[in-house]
Amino acid sequence: MPRRSALLPCLLLTLFASTALWAQNSIPTTFAGSPDQMNKPFPPHKVIGNVYYVGSEGLLTVLITTPEGHFLINSNFEANVPIIRAGVEKLGFKFTDIKIILGSHAHPDHMQADAMIKELTGARVMAMEQDVPALQAMKPGGKPHPIDRVLHDGDTVALGGTTLTAVLTAGHTKGNTTWTLKTQDGGKTYDVVILGGMGGIANLTLVGNKDYPQIADDFARSFKVLRALPCDVFLASHSSFYGLTEKYAKMQNGAPNQFIDPIGYKMHLDLQEKAFNAKLEEQKKAAATK
């Protein structure tokens, strides 16, 4: 998992100083959360419209409800399934009404439990084509990883009047997927972006990667794609990336919806892209001296 770098505090101060609104509403970080946070229950809650949070403190799981059943984005570890199920039911929905299971990217902390939740609900599992090989190798307890529909960049998944779009934002994995949708709340329409993952740069080989030769090009393309997406509500595969605990606490104290945070989205991309460019330059220089 990515860790805070020594330069991060200075970078954060620079970002915070750039806008008061950002300082008030968002806390950027490249820290993905400790094991305890990944397994710690967090109060399930409405994000906006028909979008709900049912994950742990550290790992995002999103429930998107419709009259014809529900979407679930990110099954996470199998150990997280009781947290997810309890969250769904505490919000008043039936766990067995989950009809479609989606994911952000083929890492166990986000998609390991696809098979388990499919067994419990009968839902269909869908995944981006480029992540299929990695998912097929993910077999907790020896269970084959189910994939009922292979998705491609720009594909839509519709259920009960809600349509999600799969946006390929490769780099973190070859099939890293950002999900977008529109939702209604209070008579307004909001663009929701559920970011797959653009972090973990410190642990990646960007130059001379034999297993993923185009990784740097994919990251560069993905940042451009993400910046072009309309975004009112920003969520991400690790909840710390969008300041879940801080925003939730403010809302419990009566603040307006903190998840409406387009500035936070842009600032998070700035932070991750700066880290990417710095790491790429560092690795290029190292390669040139060999």
Query: What's the CATH code of the domain at 246?
Result: 3.60.15.10
Which segments of the chain does DSSP mark as H helices, in order?
A: 8-18, 20-25, 35-39, 81-90, 108-111, 114-121, 132-136, 215-228, 244-252, 262-288
275 within some domain? yes
Share of the chain above pLDDT 90, in %: 84
3 within some domain? no
2 within some domain? no
Total domains in the chain come to 1
255 within some domain? yes
| Model pLDDT, residue 34 | 67
246 within some domain? yes
| Model pLDDT, residue 200 | 85
- Contact status, residue 145 vs residue 112, Cβ threshold 8 Å: no
From the list 198, 255, 186, 185, the residue with the least C-alpha distance to 229 is 198
Ramachandran region, residue 139 (left: φ > 0; alpha: ψ -120 to 50; beta: rest): beta
| Model pLDDT, residue 111 | 97
| Model pLDDT, residue 16 | 31
- pTM of this prediction? 0.88
16-64: per-residue pLDDT in tens?
333 223 233 333 333 455 677 888 999 999 999 999 999 999 999 999 9
Cα(103)–Cα(83) distance, rounded to whole angstroms? Answer: 17
Q: Tokens in use for 24?
A: 């008030």
71 within some domain? yes
Range of the domain at 55: 8-288
Cα(25)–Cα(269) distance, rounded to whole angstroms? Answer: 16
**Positive or negative: CA dihedral 128, 131, 132, 135:** negative
| Model pLDDT, residue 9 | 39
- Positions in the chain short of pLDDT 50: 1-31
270 within some domain? yes
1 within some domain? no
